[in-house]
């Protein structure tokens, strides 16, 4: 690399103003927006290096998802729409924290260690959410990209899943779809409308949903979707961008609090949904006649999808390895239903969307969802081709071709690159329509086990280590045996503990058949953690 180009790496405008340590995690960097100027500049540099290393376009998304408005963040997206390779997470953390005086040598070190050919062209696909800090941070990222002579393709305000989609389209020469926002809306809406034809309502299903958009970027995307969907479904949008981002609204709030968002109509048995700030999570909910709140989370969405896919595969007489991936947080009621009623294989992996996505890729058709509503479906290319061939084979019975055609359209409806709240919403609505189910019918398929979560403050979270996808505690020694003794006293009891990835907190999850027993069970386990793992402050209580 020429000396002049290397000197361009240094930019006093984006020198470090925050000396705290910041780490690249599953969701990239995420913290107070005021700390991120230099981080965004350096992620612009790193995105160029990653693009040259992979000889492909790389995505750079500025968002903090369900965090409060004053936060922000950034994550890089690899060529196939997947999250940044784990080894480069370490590189990202290093370059974000290095002192200004060592930035140039750090860039040179990355080039050398990764054997990067700097003559290769680099293309970075950029996007941002609607936070007030996002335009400024986007400018910092672009400055970093241009410092290493990378090419910027800026799509400005987009949802996180849309940026993943655009990266894949660009890197596959449009085979996955048209690399534009209009291409995204057109692909999904066309498949959605084709599935229901002129039959808008069906049985208990009414083509209308009330949706909480968390006052985030998903609100503007939903409004654009409405233009493409037209009369196929009515979407009533609330928290549509005129209020405070994620404040008492959004998928995370509804999931954790088990209550409706603010500024939302509360009519009985109406199908409602809530997405998060960057539109990659979705949960459904409703209030019954007694004003009781009912949550249909990622587990419910996964089981709905799995059951429908199994039916269609049977109808078109195709035998593929269909599998569903969960984490330890998945409700035991859903796991039992999938395994015993649907008889579909279930895999459990550690918490983190990257683990779920990678495991899902091992199946011919892999369905994965976290309980928080983040998930999608992935298909092997050979599976897609086989289904298309069945749909086009006029020698086969009409029933088989019809079922295969439905699968072809559903594949187009799904954003396989990442969890996409808008795509997932259309998929859920498609299946409910096909079944003729209202939201109550959907919920009746199985019962969730009563469950609770608690957080225990500890002096050092690393005292707790786990195995078996986070379901068994290894240290402190003997703690798991004590947890097992507590759990054994309750019918269908299950509990696990796991340390936070960022804070000195240990999370306790518990579930059992009897809701009256649940409070005692979760407190008993929490007290064990508090006493054995160095609890801080008052003893845990509900």
Model confidence at 354, pLDDT cuts 50, 70, 90, reads confident
Q: How many CB atoms lie within 10 A of CB 115?
A: 7
pLDDT value, residue 345 = 96
pLDDT-derived band of residue 1, with 50, 70 and 90 as boundaries? very low
At residue 430, φ and ψ (nearest 5 deg) are -65, -45
- Of the listed ranges 8-12, 241-245, 346-350, 471-475, the least confidently predicted one is 8-12
Tell me what pLDDT residue 535 has. Answer: 83
What pLDDT does 502 receive? 64
pLDDT tens digit sequence for 365-384: 999 999 999 999 999 999 99
- pLDDT score, position 197: 84
* Burial tier of 409 (Cβ tally within 10 Å: 0-12, 13-18, 19+): middle
Residue 65 bears catalytic tag: yes
Q: What is the pLDDT of residue 184?
A: 97
Residue 263: partners with Cβ closer than 8 Å, 6 or more residues away: 238, 239, 243, 249
Predicted local confidence at residue 292, as pLDDT: 94
Q: Is 179 helix (H, G, I), strand (E, B) or coil?
A: coil
Query: pLDDT, tens digit, for every residue of 225-278?
Result: 999 999 999 999 999 999 999 999 999 999 988 899 999 998 999 999 999 999
Is the pLDDT at 445 greater than 80? The verdict is: yes
Provide the token pair at 450: 């009563």
3-state SS record for 307-365: HHHHHHHHHCCCCCCEEEEECCCCCHHHHHHHHHHHCCCEEECCCCHHHHHHHHCCCCE
Residue 174 is predicted with a pLDDT of 78
Both structure tokens of 128: 């941002």
Q: What is the pLDDT of residue 4?
A: 42
Percent share of the chain, pLDDT over 70? 98
Please enumerate in sequence order all residues whose Cβ is within 8 A of that of 62, keeping only pairs 6 or more positions apart, or say none.
40, 72, 73, 74, 126, 127, 128, 129, 134, 137, 138, 141
Q: Are 160 and 188 contacting, i.e. CB atoms less than 8 angstroms apart?
A: no
Task: Identify whether the C-beta of residue 35 lies closer than 8 Å to the C-beta of residue 18.
Answer: yes
With 80 as the cut, is the pLDDT of residue 474 above it? yes
CA 342 from centre of chain: 24
Q: Which of 65, 189, 210, 220 is catalytic?
A: 65
pLDDT exceeds 90 at position 284: yes
Q: Which residues contact 290 (CB under 8 A, 6 or more apart)?
A: none
Residue with more model confidence, 538 or 342 = 342
pLDDT in tens, 514-537: 999 999 999 999 999 999 988 887
**Is the per-residue pLDDT at 3 higher than 70?**
no
Look at residue 2 in the predicted model and tell me its pLDDT: 45
Alpha carbon dihedral 418, 424, 425, 431, in 10-degree steps, equals 170
Which carries the bigger pLDDT value, residue 429 or residue 25? 429
**Mean pLDDT value of segment 107-122:** 95
Would the pLDDT of 110 be above 50? Answer: yes
Instruction: Answer whether residue 133 shows pLDDT above 50.
Output: yes
User: How far apart, in whole angstroms, are the C-alpha atoms of residue 42 and residue 214?
Assistant: 30
Q: What is the pLDDT of residue 353?
A: 86
> Which residue from 17, 160, 40, 54 is spatially nearest to 92, judged by alpha carbons?
40
Which whole number is the average pLDDT over 470-494?
A: 95
What span, in angstroms and rounded, lies between the C-alpha atoms of 320 and 378?
Answer: 13
Does the structure show a pLDDT above 90 at 173?
A: no
Q: How far apart are CA 145 and CA 160, in angstroms?
A: 20
């Amino acid at each position: 690399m020429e000396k002049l180009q290397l000197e361009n790496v240094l930019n006093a405008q984006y020198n470090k103003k925050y000396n705290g340590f910041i780490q690249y995690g599953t969701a990239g960097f995420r913290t107070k927006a005021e700390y991120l100027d230099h981080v965004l500049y350096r992620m612009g540099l790193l995105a160029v290096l990653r693009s040259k290393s992979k000889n492909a376009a790389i995505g750079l998304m500025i968002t903090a998802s369900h965090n409060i408005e004053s936060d922000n963040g950034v994550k890089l997206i690899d060529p196939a729409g997947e999250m940044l390779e784990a080894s480069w997470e370490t590189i990202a953390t290093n370059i974000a924290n290095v002192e200004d005086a060592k930035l140039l040598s750090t860039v040179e070190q990355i080039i050398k260690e990764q054997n990067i050919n700097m003559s290769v062209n680099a293309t970075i696909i950029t996007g941002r959410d609607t936070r007030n800090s996002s335009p400024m941070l986007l400018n910092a990222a672009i400055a970093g990209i241009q410092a290493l002579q990378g090419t910027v393709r800026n799509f400005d305000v987009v949802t996180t899943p849309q940026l993943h989609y655009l990266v894949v389209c660009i890197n596959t020469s449009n085979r996955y779809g048209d690399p534009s926002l209009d291409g995204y809306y057109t692909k999904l809406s066309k498949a959605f409308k084709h599935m229901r034809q002129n039959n808008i309502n069906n049985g208990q299903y009414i083509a209308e949903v009330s949706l909480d958009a968390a006052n985030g970027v998903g609100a503007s995307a939903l409004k654009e979707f409405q233009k493409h969907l037209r009369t196929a479904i009515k979407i009533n949008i609330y928290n549509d961008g005129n209020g405070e981002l994620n404040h008492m609204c959004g998928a995370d709030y509804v999931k954790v609090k088990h209550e409706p968002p603010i500024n939302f109509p509360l009519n009985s048995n109406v199908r409602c949904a809530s997405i998060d700030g960057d539109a990659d999570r979705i949960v459904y909910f409703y209030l019954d006649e007694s004003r009781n709140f009912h949550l249909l989370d990622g587990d419910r969405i996964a089981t709905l999808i799995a059951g429908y896919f199994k039916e269609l595969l049977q109808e078109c007489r195709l035998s593929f390895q269909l599998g569903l991936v969960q984490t330890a947080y998945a409700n035991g009621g859903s796991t039992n239903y999938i395994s015993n009623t649907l008889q579909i294989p279930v895999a459990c992996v550690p918490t983190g969307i990257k683990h779920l996505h990678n495991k899902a890729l091992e199946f011919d058709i892999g369905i994965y969802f976290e309980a928080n509503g983040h998930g999608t479906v992935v298909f092997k290319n050979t599976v897609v081709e086989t289904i298309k061939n069945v749909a086009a084979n006029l020698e086969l019975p009409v029933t088989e071709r019809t079922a295969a055609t439905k699968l072809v359209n559903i594949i187009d409806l799904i954003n396989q690159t990442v969890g996409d709240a808008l795509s997932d919403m259309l998929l859920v609505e498609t299946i409910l329509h096909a079944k003729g189910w209202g939201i109550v019918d959907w919920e009746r398929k199985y019962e969730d086990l009563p469950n609770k979560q608690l957080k225990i403050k500890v002096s050092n979270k690393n005292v707790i280590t786990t195995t078996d996808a986070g379901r068994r505690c290894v240290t402190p020694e003997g703690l798991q045996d004590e947890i097992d003794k507590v759990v054994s006293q309750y019918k269908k009891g299950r509990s696990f503990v796991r340390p936070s990835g960022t804070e000195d907190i240990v999370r306790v999850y518990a579930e059992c058949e009897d809701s009256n027993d649940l409070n005692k069970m979760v407190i008993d386990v929490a007290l064990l953690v508090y006493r054995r793992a160095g609890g801080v402050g008052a003893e845990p209580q509900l």
